Amino acid sequence: MKLAPIAFLCVLASVGCGGATPTRTVRVEETRVVAVRGVGGETEVRVLSPDVLFDEGNARLRDGDCEAAVERYDTLVREFPASRYVSASLYNAGLCLQEAHAWDRSVAHYEQLLSMRPGSSDEKHARLQLAEGLEELERWQPALTNAEATLGRDDLSSSERLEALARRARARLGLGELEEAARLSREAMSYYRTRTGDEVIADESFAAMAAYVLAETIRLRSEALTFPDGTVLAQHDVLDRRAALLLEAQRAYFDAIRMTNAHWAAASGYRIGAMYRSFFDAITNAPVPPPPHPMSDEQLALYRDSYRAQLRDRVLPLVRHAIRYWELTLTMVERTGVESEWTARVREDLEQTRALVVAAAAAPQ
């Protein structure tokens, strides 16, 4: 339970002696006396102040105890919402939760900071950190709103502006707006390439993100093309268009890989392999075109089996392409020592696809 707060709102300090003395008003942080029940049920009286809570939170943060640090910061914000430490407390709490990948809680702290202290000195960096959490949670509309708000600032460095441009493109991709995502990713890559002098951006990670987003838009357009239940000619038209987009996407993924960022290079290597595997699956599962002349049921079954066997043999090199790119991706990961979600996906899909090749080789011709 809380006792009545003792609020030290101002202190009058007098200097000199005799007659009228000058005074100055010093504003200090509020202090509260609270009663806390201990483990044994006993009541303990504690004196809380923002200064002490903030210092304790920082000390726990330095010790690597994120939960204890967040408890101090949250107590400060709850008990002293007018304190000058509110913004820094919410930012510090969000940062340590972000490092722990507690994305929901991290995002909540950054959003609370933006709500309680708009215009604070922490706002810009809170928005930049918030962007990662929103992406991890796939909250694409808030991610887009945050990126656009960040881009509206006039105090961004060139690297910070590139980050916001790339994240805006990725948010559009997450919303399924492929054409706009492609346009915005090209805008981000153009911004990166045209910086000169002091504005040159040394960190290529967000340029790689933009290149990856562009490649994703092309891949998704390719995979949206499905093979019709029609003639061989109609299927060949789809095959040609899908293959052209596949090669265009591959070139875009190579652009991301050349940025030498380990995360986006691994993601791109995985996607190249997955594209070939997806293309193989789409072709082998496509409807069998109608036979050139009428057939009995038995002849029709033989015709379909023969058609799929021939098709399987022709497109099997695509699966070998997938295996090759995944093996190269794993070699790169081993060289850089950077493990990620993409590494696990490469290993899983590589194992399954190798098994597919073995099964195909053993299938009757």
Residue 363 makes CB contacts below 8 A (sequence gap 6+) with: 309, 312
Mean pLDDT of the chain, nearest integer = 85
Q: Map tokens 């003792």 to a residue.
A: 6
For 1-8+25-137, give the CATH class.
mainly alpha
Separation between Cα atoms, residue 143 and residue 170, nearest integer Å: 9
- Return the percentage of the chain with pLDDT > 90, whole number: 51
According to the model, what pLDDT value does residue 37 have? 57
What is the secondary structure of 222-276 as a DSSP string?
A: HHT----SS-HHHHHHHHHHHHHHHHHHHHHHHHHHHTT-HHHHHHHHHHHHHHH
What is the secondary structure of 190-221 as a DSSP string?
A: HHHHT--GGG-----HHHHHHHHHHHHHHHHH
Bridge partner list, 34: 2, 46
Q: Taking the CA of residue 178 as centre, how many other CA atoms within 13 Å lie in the half-sphere pointing to its CB?
A: 10
According to the model, what pLDDT value does residue 3 have? 38
CB 364 within 8 A of CB 288: no
Question: How confident is residue 34, by pLDDT bands cut at 50, 70 and 90?
Answer: low
Strand, helix or coil at 23?
A: strand
According to the model, what pLDDT value does residue 14 have? 37
Q: What is the mean pLDDT of residues 55-75?
A: 96
The amino acid at 17: C
Asked if residue 1 has pLDDT above 90, the reply is no
Separation between Cα atoms, residue 273 and residue 319, nearest integer Å: 8
Q: Of the ranges 31-35, 121-125, 156-160, which one carries the lowest mean pLDDT score? A: 31-35
Structural domain boundaries in the chain = 1-8+25-137, 228-365
Residue among 225, 275, 228 nearest 250 (CA)? 275
Residue among 356, 360, 236 nearest 310 (CA)? 360
Residue 266 makes CB contacts below 8 A (sequence gap 6+) with: 329, 332, 333, 338, 340, 342, 343, 346
According to the model, what pLDDT value does residue 27 have? 54
- Return the percentage of the chain with pLDDT > 70, whole number: 85
Tell me the per-residue pLDDT of 196-207, one tens digit each, with 9 for 90 and over. 999 999 999 999
Separation between Cα atoms, residue 107 and residue 348, nearest integer Å: 31
User: Tokens at residue 216, please?
Assistant: 């994703």
Q: How far is CA 167 from CA 8, 53, 204, 341, 364, in A?
A: 45, 35, 14, 19, 50
CB 32 within 8 A of CB 52: no
Q: What is the mean pLDDT of residues 99-125?
A: 97
Cα-to-chain-centroid distance, residue 307: 43
- Alpha carbon distance, N-terminus to C-terminus of the chain: 81
Separation between Cα atoms, residue 127 and residue 147, nearest integer Å: 8
More reliable by pLDDT, 116 or 31: 116
